[in-house]
């Protein structure tokens, strides 16, 4: 009997150790990184994304999650210097370094052997110090060198600031605990670290989670006032793993298909209700994700490119629903959903250019009042113009399909006109508020900064469109064409100043990448407008010819 019990216990122990590691408790340990206290789960995700452009890594025989990969680097359980982990996403730079042009990721050893890389990065830094323009290849080289430096820091363990200090605000690494605490205070921390490291190496899930949880509680006891609350740590961990914007994109895609079917087949009431249900569910996920970021960051969600794209895409759908409820036409949702889908798709395609990080505010943005009034108003104007652009595509499609019927549909053009009016109102208000904030922060209302200048250009473009429509300079077709073309000015204000020009006082929004996607969008859009113009011109010429023939017959 005793022998059987021992066998059962042995088998259950083996099964327990064979269980895949769960990084839930480890991921909830707090760390100070980038000027913010956050779960180590967030740190691992951001670090691996910065290194490789992905949040997971696929080796020959295993898929590494971000937590798993970072712990493996810290404990040296794998030779990561030989793994093609580090992203070099700019192909001309790959060729310049003499690397394999068919790949985007290279090992630490491969890149450290490329001596040209350090030279190019130093040239970029010298140009930045002198205030000169930095070519794209040099910027990319500097980014790759920063990834190599980050890789070194993680491998050396010099980023693991998980212990709150007794005094001050700079968190400590485990090796620095003896400088601030007595041995009786810090020994439990080192004991739990050693125990969880051993459990990780042996794949012991139970002890790994047990000591991770106990480590977190021990660290909190060192300085309870400075250590983040359990609620905030769990909230951010939940946000990291629920992927609300991915869910929103999926639901928007389903809603778009259902509403398109409902619009094509008016009797398909079930498709209409299914589309509206999925669109509302998508809005709840979308808005919920934004709300979570606001609670985590303690500020409005519009301080970097990722947040502004998320916010603008949310504003597009909300405006679509507002106009849908006002005018009872599903066309607004058919215009809004594709725009939001494209925005959310770009976030997933360009995680390095638009990282999801929740970073501390730069000094100039540390005013929640102006951040809320100016930035939210400006970005909501982008949302209104994006909706007008999507609506304009639908109008132009109808002109391509049947120019005569489209020209006679006055209601459709009235709906488009209303969106443009809303966008102009918001952009004008946001530009004026920006000037007031600039006077408050920089001591001048207007300084012809590139961002200010392009905001004014975009505003004047749309004002000219509305004025031209009232003055009779162009008809409904011209309004539709303008709603699409003028959005290029918004793109320049929103993306171009930050990612192409890279100049001005709004440097907190600067970045690199995404040029191919934006350029492709602009080229395809202009081609679409050109096709609509050719079709409209032919139809107009045919109408004039028929009218002339009718006059000849009557004569």
**Orientation of helix 205-222 relative to helix 183-202, angle to 10°:** 160
- One domain, residues 248 and 193: no
- One domain, residues 487 and 353: yes
- One domain, residues 56 and 180: yes
Q: Answer yes or no: is pLDDT of 16 > 70.
A: no
The vertex-104 CA angle with 121 and 67, nearest 5°, equals 90
- One domain, residues 387 and 347: yes
Question: Residue 4 — pLDDT band, cuts 50, 70, 90?
Answer: very low
Which residue range is the domain that position 202 belongs to? Answer: 23-232
Query: Helix/strand/coil (H, E, C) string of 477-546?
Result: HHHHHHHHHCHHHHHHHHHHHHHHHCCCCCHHHCCCCCHHHHHHHHHHHHHHHHHHHHHHHHHHHHHHHH
- One domain, residues 86 and 176: yes
Average pLDDT over residues 485-505: 83
553 domain residue, yes or no: no
Contact 374, 433 (CB under 8 A): yes
Most confident of 36-50, 56-70, 353-367: 36-50
- One domain, residues 156 and 119: yes
- One domain, residues 63 and 111: yes
552 domain residue, yes or no: no
344 domain residue, yes or no: yes
86 domain residue, yes or no: yes
Q: What percent of the chain has pLDDT over 90?
A: 52
Which of 166, 199, 232 is where one domain is finished? 232
Which of 170, 197, 232 is where one domain is finished? 232
183 domain residue, yes or no: yes
Question: Residue 368 — pLDDT band, cuts 50, 70, 90?
Answer: low
The predicted-structure confidence for 82-111, as pLDDT tens digits, reads as follows 999 999 988 899 999 988 888 999 999 999
38 closest CA partner among 261, 282, 234: 234
45 domain residue, yes or no: yes
Average pLDDT over residues 341-368: 81
- What is the greatest pairwise CA distance in the chain? 117
3 domain residue, yes or no: no
- One domain, residues 208 and 272: no
pLDDT of residue 3: 39
| Three-class DSSP category at 84 | coil
231 is written with which tokens? 């609620």
Contact 483, 392 (CB under 8 A): yes
The predicted-structure confidence for 131-172, as pLDDT tens digits, reads as follows 787 888 898 999 999 999 999 999 998 899 999 998 888 999
132 domain residue, yes or no: yes
- One domain, residues 156 and 278: no
- One domain, residues 318 and 391: yes
What is the rounded distance in angstroms from the CA atom of residue 52 to the CA atom of residue 60? 16
| Average per-residue pLDDT for the chain | 86
Which of 232, 257, 277 is where one domain is finished? 232
- One domain, residues 227 and 373: no
- One domain, residues 247 and 228: no
Tally of domains in the chain: 2
What is the rounded distance in angstroms from the CA atom of residue 134 to the CA atom of residue 126? 9
> How would you class 239 by CB atoms within 10 Å of its CB: exposed for 0-12, middle for 13-18, buried for 19 or more?
buried
């Amino acid at each position: 009997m005793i022998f059987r019990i021992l066998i059962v216990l042995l088998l259950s122990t083996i099964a327990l150790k064979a269980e895949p590691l769960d990084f839930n408790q480890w991921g909830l340990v707090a760390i100070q990184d980038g000027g913010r206290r956050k779960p180590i789960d967030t740190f691992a995700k951001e670090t691996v994304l910065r290194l490789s452009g992905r949040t997971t890594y696929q080796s020959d025989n295993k898929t590494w999650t971000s937590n798993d990969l970072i712990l493996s680097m810290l404990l040296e359980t794998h030779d990561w210097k030989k793994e093609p982990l580090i992203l070099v996403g700019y192909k001309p730079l790959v060729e310049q370094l003499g690397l394999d042009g068919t790949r985007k990721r290279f090992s630490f050893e491969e890149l450290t052997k490329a001596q040209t890389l350090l030279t190019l990065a130093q040239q970029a830094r010298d140009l930045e110090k002198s205030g000169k323009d930095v070519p794209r290849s040099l910027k990319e080289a500097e980014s790759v060198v920063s990834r190599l430096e980050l890789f070194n820091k993680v491998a050396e363990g010099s980023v693991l600031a998980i212990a709150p200090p007794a005094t001050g605000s700079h968190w400590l690494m485990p090796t620095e605990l003896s400088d601030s605490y007595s041995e009786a205070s810090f020994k439990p921390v080192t004991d739990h670290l050693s125990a969880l490291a051993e459990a990780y190496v042996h794949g012991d899930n139970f002890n790994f989670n047990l000591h991770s949880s106990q480590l977190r509680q021990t660290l909190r006891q060192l300085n309870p006032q400075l250590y983040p609350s359990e609620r905030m740590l769990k909230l951010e961990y939940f946000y990291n793993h629920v992927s609300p914007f991915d869910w929103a994109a999926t639901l928007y895609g389903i809603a778009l298909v259902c509403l398109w079917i409902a619009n094509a087949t008016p009797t398909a009431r079930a498709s209409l209700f299914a589309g509206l249900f999925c669109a509302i569910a998508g809005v709840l996920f979308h808005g919920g994700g934004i709300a979570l970021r606001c609670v985590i960051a303690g500020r409005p969600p519009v301080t970097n490119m990722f947040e502004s794209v998320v916010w603008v895409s949310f504003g597009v759908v909300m405006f679509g629903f507002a106009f849908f409820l006002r005018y009872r036409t599903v066309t607004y949702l058919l215009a809004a959903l594709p725009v939001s889908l494209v925005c959310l798709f770009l976030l997933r395609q360009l995680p390095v250019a638009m990282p999801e990080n929740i970073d501390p505010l730069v000094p100039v943005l540390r005013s929640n009042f102006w951040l809320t009034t100016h930035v939210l108003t400006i970005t909501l104007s982008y949302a209104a113009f994006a909706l007008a652009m999507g609506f304009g595509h639908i109008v132009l499609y109808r002109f391509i399909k049947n120019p005569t019927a489209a020209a006679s549909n006055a209601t459709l053009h009235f709906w488009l006109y209303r969106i443009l009016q809303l966008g102009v109102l918001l952009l004008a208000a946001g530009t004026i508020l920006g000037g007031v904030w600039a006077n408050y922060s920089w001591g001048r209302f207007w300084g012809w900064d590139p961002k200010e200048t392009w905001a004014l250009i975009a505003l004047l473009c749309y004002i000219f469109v509305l004025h031209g429509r009232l003055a009779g300079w162009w008809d409904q077709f011209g309004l539709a064409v303008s709603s699409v073309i003028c959005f290029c000015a918004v793109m320049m204000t929103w993306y171009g100043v930050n990612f192409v020009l890279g100049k001005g006082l709004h440097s907190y929004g600067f970045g690199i990448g995404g040029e191919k996607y934006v350029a492709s969008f602009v080229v395809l859009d202009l081609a679409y407008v050109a096709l609509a113009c050719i079709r409209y011109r032919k139809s107009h010429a045919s109408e004039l010819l028929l009218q002339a023939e009718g006059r000849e017959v009557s004569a």
